[in-house]
Amino acid sequence: MVKERERWGSRSSFIFAAVGAAIGLGNVWRFPYITYRYGGGAFLIPYLIALITAGIPLMILEYSIGIKTQGAPPVALKKIWAKAEWIGWFSVVLVFVLAAYYANIMSWAVNYFYHSFTLAWGKTGPEINNFFNNVMLNKSTSPGVLGMVQWPVLLGLAITWIFIYLCLFRGVRTLGKIVYFTVGIPWLILIIMVIRGLTLPGAIEGLNYYLTPNFSALKDPIVWLAAYGQIFFTLSLAMGTLIVYASYLPEDSDITANAFITSLANCGTSFFAGFAVFSTLGYLAGSMGVTVPEVTTSGLGLAFITYPTAINLLPVASQLFGALFFLLLLTLGIDSAFSQIEPVVGSFVDKWGLKKEWILPAICIFGFIVGIPYTTRGGFYWVDIIDYFVANYGLTIVGLLECIVIGYVFGASKIRRYINSVSDVTIGPWWDIFIMVITPAILGISLIRALYKLMTEGYGGYPRWTAFTGIGLIVLLIVISFILSKSKEVTHE
Ligand code: PHE
């Protein structure tokens, strides 16, 4: 007996789910901080190039893999090429590692939601900075010193996982309904934050930093890899999410229009959120008498410093807006968070015919446990380090491998014919050139150059051993992927 595959309720549910998976903390937390770290306007150029040369072509590719094979990543890639199953597993284990720290950032937002009722984060720039680093996280001095678990952060983490579970256990049909809310509402509040930011004194300084290109930064391979990493992260590429979501669509579903809509809606949101963050940064710099790059050293915490500042400065009802803002940040993140778990669950279900009823809670509990070290005093540094390695090295490696498998083994033009046969908007041979030559070449070159720089300089000013831990993790995940792909399938009749 072949079990009927789960299905979305409608095409728009799928688009909302895909947009919901894409739009998340990656847009309002990660994009601003990565942009800040790599020099504002300097970063936007590689970011745009990455969107065009990898983001859109690969999104089309992943949708088509999911729709055509009707399977979660390991099964899907195996159908494309028997030897490629491990690549599917690699994307699944990567997204699991990502989910564990992603939930931790959600937990910071849960805490801020709580604190917004009293505006506990303080009033001035330095106070707000201090609240994030020294009160809430109680940061230790280095990644080597983990220290105690911070209980409120741990509690927030547990709450996040419970919500992820609740969103997923009813299956994709319900999911399709939840996402209408989790995508629509956050946009409204973002608009308020942008308007508030832009009307602050000094906003223009921040915008200058955000929008003025700096061509000399383009020489740095690290900036390029970061741009590709961010595009993968924000579009949820190379993590199985899009493959598994697309696999719940019928085989004749449109591909290209969906891909353009999702990627443009997503990157538009990031760009827009940048205005809220950088205008507020300009204000903060002015009020503290420093330049924009000097406002904070904890790039990763940028969003947790600028948004509270903007909230404090709202003319009326800051508490209410604060609570609303963090609640909405959470709704924005939650659909991304559960979209990271769905491919993991889907892969186990598809390969071993395991029952979703128990594999889902098991994975949620495991994800929670893996996330506990991040709630310690040193956890902040590890979010930074693991995020860097997963996004920049893990995801780009998967992207590169997908290009090779589809481009050369399966045949780019063959899959393009399939894409065009089901899509409203057809794509030309340019796409083959991207998948076969341009995208893999850029990814490969950036990876090698950045790796070289990493070996010689380490990462982020942390002790050198942390960089080896990061690389070690990627290697370990590859080994696990091979083991998973070699294990025998069990087909339940
Ligand atoms: N794209 C999401 C964001 O920007 C993160 C994500 C990663 C979602 C992987 C799904 C899968 O926040």
Neighbours of 137 (CB within 10 A): 24
Dist CA 418 CA 472 (whole Å):
39
- Comparing 180 with 333, which gets the higher pLDDT? 333
- Does the beta carbon of 256 lie inside 6 Å of ligand 1? no
**Would you call 250 helix, strand, or coil by DSSP?**
coil
User: Would the pLDDT of 294 be above 60?
Assistant: yes
- Does the beta carbon of 243 lie inside 6 Å of ligand 1? no
**Would you call 116 helix, strand, or coil by DSSP?**
helix
- 489 Cα–ligand 1 center, Å: 29
- Does the beta carbon of 269 lie inside 6 Å of ligand 1? no
- Does the beta carbon of 241 lie inside 6 Å of ligand 1? yes
Q: Given its phi and psi angles, is residue 411 left (phi above 0), alpha (psi -120 to 50 degrees) or beta?
A: left
- Does the beta carbon of 27 lie inside 6 Å of ligand 1? yes
User: Would the pLDDT of 428 be above 90?
Assistant: yes
pLDDT of residue 2: 47
User: Would the pLDDT of 172 be above 90?
Assistant: no
Dist CA 407 CA 362 (whole Å):
36
- 4 Cα–ligand 1 center, Å: 28
Nearest to 90 by CA among 402, 449, 350, 384: 402
- 20 Cα–ligand 1 center, Å: 9
pLDDT cut 90: percent of the chain above it: 71
**What burial letters (b/e) apply to 51-88, b meaning 16+ CB within 10 Å?**
bebbbbbbbbbbbbbbbbbbbbbbbbbbbbeeebbbbb
Q: What are 37-74's pLDDT values in tens digits?
A: 998 999 999 999 999 999 999 999 999 999 999 989 99
Q: What are 375-417's pLDDT values in tens digits?
A: 999 999 999 999 999 999 999 999 999 999 999 999 999 999 9
- Does the beta carbon of 175 lie inside 6 Å of ligand 1? no
- Does the beta carbon of 21 lie inside 6 Å of ligand 1? yes
Q: Are 344 and 95 in contact (CB under 8 A)?
A: yes
* Residue 380 token pair: 């902040």
- 488 Cα–ligand 1 center, Å: 30
pLDDT of residue 133: 94
User: Would the pLDDT of 267 be above 50?
Assistant: yes
**Which residue's CA is minimally distant from atom 4 of ligand 1?**
26
**Which residue's CA is minimally distant from atom 8 of ligand 1?**
336
- Does the beta carbon of 104 lie inside 6 Å of ligand 1? no
Q: What are 317-356's pLDDT values in tens digits?
A: 789 888 988 987 888 888 889 899 999 999 998 888 888 8
Would the pTM of this model clear 0.75, i.e. be above it? yes
- 441 Cα–ligand 1 center, Å: 25
pLDDT of residue 491: 56
User: Would the pLDDT of 239 be above 50?
Assistant: yes
- Comparing 110 with 177, which gets the higher pLDDT? 110
* Residue 195 token pair: 């308007």
pLDDT band of residue 493 (cuts 50, 70, 90) is: very low
Q: What are 436-487's pLDDT values in tens digits?
A: 999 999 999 999 999 999 998 999 899 999 999 999 999 999 999 999 999 8
- 182 Cα–ligand 1 center, Å: 14
Dist CA 410 CA 402 (whole Å):
10
User: Would the pLDDT of 23 be above 80?
Assistant: yes
Worst-scoring range by mean pLDDT, 93-97, 185-189, 233-237, 278-282?
Answer: 185-189
- Does the beta carbon of 343 lie inside 6 Å of ligand 1? no
